[in-house]
Amino acid sequence: MEKTAKIAHPGKMVALINQKGGVGKTTSTVNLAASLALADRKILVLDFDPQGNASSALGIDRQAASSGPTIYNALIGEVKLSETVRPTEVDGLFVSPANADLTGAEIELVTAFAREMKLKAAIAEVKDQYDYILIDCPPSLGLLTVNALTAADSYLVPLQCEYFALEGLSQLINTIGLIRQSTNPNLKEEGILLTMFDGKTNLANQVVDEVRKHFGEQVYQSVIPRNVRLSECSSFGKPIMLYDVNSKGCSAYLSLANEFLARNQQLEMPATIPTMAGEAPGLATKVTPPPFNPATAAEI
Find the CATH number of the domain harbouring 282: 3.40.50.300
Mean predicted confidence (pLDDT) in 113-140 = 92
Please report the pLDDT score of residue 7 as a whole number: 54
Name which of 3-17, 81-95, 236-250, 263-277 the model is least confident about: 263-277
Q: How far apart are CA 194 and CA 212, in angstroms?
A: 10
Q: Give the strand pairing for 86-87 and 93-96.
A: antiparallel
Judge whether residue 279 has pLDDT over 70.
Answer: no
Domain assignment present for 2: no
pLDDT band at 56 (very low <50, low <70, confident <90, very high): very high
The per-residue pLDDT for 35 is 96
Give the count of domains, the chain.
Answer: 1
Percentage of the chain exceeding pLDDT 70: 85
Print the domain residue range for 68: 12-297
Look at residue 9 in the predicted model and tell me its pLDDT: 54
What is the predicted pLDDT for the residue at 19? Answer: 87
Residue 76 maps to a domain: yes
8 A C-beta contact, residue 185 and residue 230: no
Q: What is the mean pLDDT of the chain?
A: 84
Q: Give the pLDDT of residue 291.
A: 45
Indicate the range of 34-48, 194-208, 234-248, 278-292 predicted with least confidence. Answer: 278-292
6 within a domain of the structure (yes/no): no
